[in-house]
Amino acid sequence: MSHPFFLTVAYAGANFHGWQIQTSLRSGQGDLWAALRAFEPGAPMPQGTGRTDAGVHARAQGVLIHTSRDWEPYRLLAALNAHLAKDIRVMAVQPAPEGFFPRQHAVAKRYVYRLGLGPAADPLVAAFRWHVHQARSLDLEAMATATAPLLGTHDFSSFRCAECVAKTPVRTLHDLRITRVEGGADLVFEGTSFLMHQVRILAGTLVEVGRGRRPATSMGELLRTRDRRAAGPTAPPEGLCLEQVWYESRWGLGAPSPFGGRG
């Protein structure tokens, strides 16, 4: 008999080639599966919620695993962490309902892109921020103005990398806000799902607005062009973190989505 469990997994992405398992490169999925098989040799591959890029961090990667026996959640958490490196940790464990699949039943996600601002990169947080070097302050007000046309449901082809294999470029962005923090600013993206590199391209384009290299009023036209070449650079991966995932409320896993959604 198989026993399903839902895990919340966090990892610092610098030494990972993304979440998805790789043939010869390190991945979050690969590390977690190796840890699980250390005491559950026949366990199937863990299934995650999202495919974070190489170098991208996660605080709330949702993962479904199956074990051959019914574990007490804390003991399962401790057993997994005993076989994991320090840059990846299982943060929470709970029994999962039959029929639940994290990727299929996620209704919204929150990504945060962290910018470091100021004269020099803070070495204590540099691994988790993109430090934007500039002679004058980044115009966060202009960046905030630029976000308005991006909200809602749109064709985000201009913010989609060439390798993206999604069936459609249409996505819904529920919220995009810019928050000042000590030493920098956080760009908070909340949406139903995201295209490959979408958040990083949006972040890179908004930074161009903040630097005065493109007008704050240009985002609507940029969406309409549906041309990746018209958008800004892809921001580096170290600034990005998957912070939260909301699932269909019928599964009883975590808080209900503030944006509604299936079930």
Please give the domain boundaries of the chain with CATH numbers for all domains: 3-100 (3.30.70.580), 106-243 (3.30.70.660)
Nearest to 63 by CA among 8, 14, 26: 8
- List residues with catalytic annotation: 53
Answer for the pair 109, 94: CB distance below 8 angstroms, yes or no. no
pLDDT of residue 118: 86
3 state SS of 8 = strand
Alpha helix stretches (DSSP H) within 185-258: 198-210, 219-225
Rounded-to-integer distance, Cα 33 and Cα 106, Å = 21
- DSSP conformational letter for 17: S
Treating both helix axes as pointing N-terminal to C-terminal, what angle do 28-37 and 73-82 enclose, rounded to 10 degrees? 110
Rounded to whole angstroms, the Cα distance separating 183 from 185 reads: 7
Determine the pLDDT at residue 263.
59
Find tokens 């709330």 and name the residue: 60
| pLDDT for the residue numbered 85 | 98
What sign has the CA pseudo-torsion 118, 121, 122, 126?
Answer: positive
Q: How far is CA 48 from the centre of its chain?
A: 12
One-letter amino acid at 192 equals: T
pLDDT of residue 260: 81
Length of the chain counted residue by residue:
263
One pLDDT digit (tens) per residue for the chain, 263 residues: 799 999 999 999 999 999 999 989 999 999 999 999 999 999 999 999 988 999 999 999 999 999 999 999 999 999 999 999 999 999 999 999 999 999 999 999 999 999 999 889 999 999 999 999 877 889 999 999 999 999 999 999 999 999 999 999 999 999 999 999 999 999 999 999 999 999 999 999 999 999 999 999 999 999 999 999 999 999 999 999 999 999 999 999 988 899 887 65
What does DSSP assign to residue 46? P
Cα–Cα distance measured from residue 52 to residue 146, given in angstroms and rounded to the nearest whole number = 26
Q: Tens digit of pLDDT for each residue in 143-201?
A: 999 999 999 999 999 999 999 999 999 999 999 999 999 999 999 999 999 999 999 99
